[in-house]
Structure 1
Amino acid sequence: MKISSTALRAKRSCTSGYRWFTRRFKSPAEYQSVIDALVADGRVDDACWLLDQFGPIDSVLVVDAISAESFVYAGSVQVRGEVDVDATLRTGGSLQAGGSIRAGNAVWISGDLHAGAGLRTLGSLRTGGHLVSSWSAEVHGALTCGGDLRVRGALACGVALRGEGSAVVAEDLEVNGMIDFAKGLRVGGHLVCTEGLRAGHGIQVGQSLRSGMHIDAGWGIVAGSDITGEGAIRAGECILSGGSVRAGAGFSLYAGLSARRDAWSSCARVVSRTRPENLLSGFWDCAPCEPLA
């Protein structure tokens, strides 16, 4: 694909970007060559705009490692080693690294993202597909995942965590904001978020669960220790805790919202060491919670 001044006018490029192109290229130029030139001249936002306008390409770039101020590629990238980018990291396709991935600013991967070791970005992180980190992950901004999320260590997120699929975090999950997943959420350690927590399917936590606002699960909620919400706690089926279950002051607890009332004893059980206050739906059972598989 070639980029021409006519194509840029059709896309209503900014005056500055159009003038830059006509000075730099006297004839239509290869798409990725234009992106590379923009990045080299410090016009990273313009390179990302170009990718937004003309979309991804099918080519796959295979390299040993990436070390750059910023990196923008219109296709997919396979890196045998590590990715170390001081500012913006953007691809039109997937990114697969055999080692760790680090970025000092925003990361936007239009396809799947796979880090063979750790993952760390000082800005936001967005993927159009699945996200897999073979070790812990740290995102200082918002994390938005277009597919499933798999982290084989701990995950810390500085703003909000959203996903269109399910999430599995092997160790602790800590989010300074809200958590919202279309499907299920499973955490091996503690789960803490400062705002609301929502999962379209179930929530399973190996240790304690704490939310700064409401907790909503389309299916059930299971935790090895306490379940605490500063707002309401609502589950379509059972709520099972190895400790206590506490909703926020003035709020209530609801189990079995998707179950028939005459089936509450099996489909809307609330298991905790003491009977929760403000239990408005569900069947409380003081038996100890079974250990998580």
Structure 2
Amino acid sequence: MSRRARPPTPSRSPFSTSISKRPEAVSVVLSVEGLAKTYPGGVRAVDGVSFAAGRGELVAIVGESGCGKTTTLKMINRLLEPSAGRVIIEDRDASEVDPVALRRRVGWVMQGDGLFPHLSVFENIAVTPQLLGWDAARIADRVDALLELVRLDPDEYRARKPAQLSGGQRQRVGVARALAAEPPLVLMDEPFGALDPLTRDALREDFQDLRGQLGFAAVMVTHDMAEALLLAERIAVMDAGRLLQYGPPEDLLARPADETVARLVATPMAEARRVEALARRAGLEDGDA
């Protein structure tokens, strides 16, 4: 199979809106209610975090290192058990679902690729569908379709082992694996951080397209506020385990809840203005780049 041609991307202001607009009405896939995690010694890693993700929506969790982002993500699919609060996925309390069964229905893209080194690309992507009892033809079709999505030619890459891939290619396979069983919810921990800028931009847009087509909800942890502003319908800003602000990108830009949120959103805005100033000095008009 050949790699799909990529249409040109129209010019747009970098922070004017998120890529995907929130539908007027969506059904809730994920509801996080008062989630907390206390470690021995009384260390409160996460303290009363609440948010929701509807079908087809992406929620980005943003904050400085150590603020509780990844701990929150791991409690959603019970890699960590919460000390308080609850997680509801498709109207079921996650605490009442077998953890293994839960993780087979929730996609996971971890920081780093997390691939099985002894399995081929095909076998890595096919793991969860095989565990769920899909037939071989359906698995083969799904693997090839996902490789196309993440811009890896199936004929060239399906038989390769992870050691034969670049870091960016391994991360793309990790994204494909998370989507393999058509999950209603995908959890993502810095999913695009290992990719070069051109590949990162292409994969972000392809992921957005697939999310819109299939309607799964997604929760993404990222240090990159610009990425959150551009991709997410809702952003949850955390600091010291607590939720500082939760809402659409436009609200964070127009009405930051406190100085921490204001600083986080100001950084990518300042970078965008510096790039625009450089472009003007270079004689470029809007849309020339």
TM-score by length of 2: 0.25
* Structure with a larger share of its residues in strand: 1
Q: Relative contact order, CA 8 A, sep 6+: which one is greater?
A: 2
